[in-house]
Structures are given as structure tokens and as C-alpha cells.
Homo-oligomer: A and B are copies of this chain.
Amino acid sequence: MTYHSSNLDSLFQALSDPTRRAILTRLAQGEAPVSALAEPFDMALPSFMGHLKKLEEGGLIETTKSGRIRTCALRLEALEPARDWIDDQREIWEGRLDRLEAYVTTLVKKDNKP
């Protein structure tokens, strides 16, 4: 059984921290340099950079450095695989119900045709 899909690991992992989700929400309003991003957080800069690194590993942000300023931008499309996985679960679940329904229907038909 192949139950690994490396992207979802780092993606969900990146989303599992409130600081990181807050960063994403901030970036959903527009890109920003590291220091401006970090400002609202009561955290040393290296710690904050660690979060940015996790977000980048998860593909959720993209950063570019120009001069001494590194600018961070959201990569919204990176959320798609997460959303898709969640939707897939519902589909499997609903598939299950459909099958159960089909099965029950079969039983009823048998009952009505003895």
C-alpha cells in the first residue's frame, strides 16, 4: 500500500501552526517584506524565519530577495491539493453510501420478486 504523498505532509504540517496560518492570512492581503510581516508577532526574528521556511517548504509562499529585503508572497494554488484531499474523502464517503443504497435497492427488488 502506498500511503505516502510527500506534498500533503509538508502542506498540512505548514498549516498546523497558528503563527503560520496568520502569516498566510496576512499575505492573502498582499505581499510583504520579512520585517513587516514579523512585526505583529512577539517572537525573535530567527524564530519567525523558521516559520517562513516551513511555509516555503510546504509551497505556500514564495520569497525573493532584492537588495537586503526579502519579499514574501502567498502561493494560493498550493492549497489546492489540501482542498482536493478533503473533498476526496467526502467523495469516498458518499461512494460508500451510494453502494449501500444500491445494495439495499437490490434487496428490496429481491423481496418484491420472490
A108 to B79, CA, bound (A): 34
Q: How many copies does the complex hold?
A: 2
B16 touches A3 (CB 8 A): no
Task: Write the A16-30 contact mask toward B (1 if CB under 8 angstroms, else 0).
Answer: 111101101100111
* A1: interface (CB < 8 Å): yes
A36 → chain B, closest Cβ, in Å? 14
A20 → chain B, closest Cβ, in Å? 9
What are the 9 closest A-B residue pairs judged by CB atoms, nearest first? A3-B22, A12-B16, A28-B92, A13-B16, A12-B15, A4-B18, A28-B93, A3-B18, A79-B86
A–B pairs, 29, beta carbons within 8 Å: A1-B40, A3-B21, A3-B22, A4-B18, A5-B18, A8-B18, A9-B17, A9-B18, A10-B16, A12-B12, A12-B13, A13-B13, A13-B16, A15-B82, A15-B85, A16-B16, A21-B85, A28-B92, A28-B93, A28-B96, A29-B96, A30-B96, A74-B89, A74-B93, A76-B89, A79-B86, A82-B82, A83-B83, A83-B86
